[in-house]
Amino acid sequence: MNNQKGQGFGFGLGKMKELAAAFQKAQQIQEDAKNLQAELEAMEIEAQSADGFVIVKVSGDQKPLSIDIKPEALVGKSAEELSAFVTAVVKDAHQKSTDIMRERMESLTGNLGLPGM
């Protein structure tokens, strides 16, 4: 029979405090992630052609919001040229959204000390 007292499962008071602190930090990170998601959804990121005739808006979580093509964009262009023009602006808007999302995620995870983040 083992006569040692107070050893339980190997969790002393110090370990319980560490566990509680880790749990609290995890809850805060979850709340921050939820807030970030809402912020990204509400964002409106815009890209436009150099002449301003094509304007694309996407949300911060990369959902397409609108494409505005001004009548001037149609002048002197074939359907293929206009399609390429619009595609380039959509790609630009998507890249801007991706960059913003990455920056915000890095700021959220930067304090965690996770490898590769």
pLDDT tens digits for range 44-72: 999 999 999 999 999 998 899 999 999 99
DSSP string, 63-115: -EEEEEE-GGGGTT--HHHHHHHHHHHHHHHHHHHHHHHHHHHHHHHTTTT-T
- Which amino acid type is present at position 51? D
* pLDDT reported for residue 117: 44
* pLDDT reported for residue 22: 82
pLDDT < 70: residue spans in the chain: 1-14, 111-117
Residues 6+ apart with CB under 8 A from 82: 69, 73, 74
* pLDDT reported for residue 5: 52
How many CB atoms are located within 10 Å of the residue 63 CB?
12
* pLDDT reported for residue 9: 56
* pLDDT reported for residue 10: 57
